[in-house]
Amino acid sequence: MRCLAEFAGSALAIFPLLIVYTLSQLIYQYAGVTPIILVTVLSYGAVAALFGKVSGAQLNPAVTVAAMLTSKTGWIDGIAYIVAQVLGGIAAAALYTIVLPTSENVTGQMWFTVVVNGFDDASRSSSALSGAGISFGVMLAVAVELIAGLIVVGAAVSTLREDGTADSSHAWATAVAYGLGAALTYPVTGAALNPARATGVAIMAHGKGLTVEPLSQLWVFWIAPVFAAALVAVAMIANQMVAAAAAKTSA
């Protein structure tokens, strides 16, 4: 039941992101990054509230890695969660592919261009920057996804109980953290934030003729958040050890 919740939750959180990122970019271009921030806050917030009591609404392999490292989620459960999350991401991207209409002028390639995660020529700002002689490359992409990952994973894991389910502030903290992450990363990478989201889109966009094949850049969107998860886990464990030592000293 908890794996089903992670699958359904990931799909339900990611599908609206893909649709809204696409349409706000193509139809309401003047509004800029604002609808991107808002829908990310609302999507992860709503889904974390819905599934928090069932599975902890981890929704993100990086969050689950940190939950495993801090012993809030067991290793077998954690691996099953990650599989469920990635399948949820693929399901969301597949549904996105099915429901958006195409024509001679509007191809699947066009829809995917605005939702794949990437850098350099695949950065969301690449056309805006093309005349300026610069590009948003792998270093900036890693920097923003790593810092966003620290905030997202930190917020999500620090609001899980010892048994891996959500405490009462989990939905709120998750929503705020993903919204901040989207603001920080969207102009650079298109806001991956979640390896399950990046993977689902990269798989469905494979072979659609995008300028940059998204699977070739996917590694960044796994390495950066998982490394962030490791840093968060180390910080949480160190903080607990210091607190325990302080308690022992004062006792």
State in angstroms the smallest separation of the CB of 189 from a second copy. 12
> Judged by CB under 8 A, how many residues of this single chain contact a second copy?
71
Classified as helix, coil or strand, 160 is strand
Q: What would you measure as the largest C-alpha separation in the chain, in angstroms?
A: 75
Cα separation values, 117 from 46, 67, 153, 199, 222, Å? 23, 25, 19, 9, 11
CB nearer to a second copy: pick between 95 and 215: 95
The reply on whether position 151 binds a second copy by CB under 8 A is yes
Q: Which of residues 194-223 bind a second copy (CB under 8 A)?
A: none
Q: Which of 75, 67, 56, 70 is nearest to 240 (CA)?
A: 70
**Cα angle 147, 43, 112; round to 5:** 80
Q: Which of residues 54-113 bind a second copy (CB under 8 A)?
A: 54, 95, 99-106
The reply on whether position 173 binds a second copy by CB under 8 A is yes
CA–CA gap between residue 118 and residue 8 (Å, rounded): 26
User: Looking at 12-20, 57-65, 70-78, 197-205, which segment touches a second copy (CB under 8 A)?
Assistant: 12-20
DSSP 8-state assignment for residue 136: -
Q: Which of residues 17-56 bind a second copy (CB under 8 A)?
A: 19-20, 23-24, 27-35, 37-39, 41-43, 45-47, 49-50, 54
The reply on whether position 16 binds a second copy by CB under 8 A is yes
The reply on whether position 133 binds a second copy by CB under 8 A is yes
CB nearer to a second copy: pick between 147 and 215: 147
The reply on whether position 176 binds a second copy by CB under 8 A is yes
What sign has the CA pseudo-torsion 9, 116, 233, 168? negative
State in angstroms the smallest separation of the CB of 83 from a second copy. 20
State in angstroms the smallest separation of the CB of 116 from a second copy. 18
The reply on whether position 230 binds a second copy by CB under 8 A is no
Q: Which of 172, 171, 180 is nearest to 151 (CA)?
A: 180
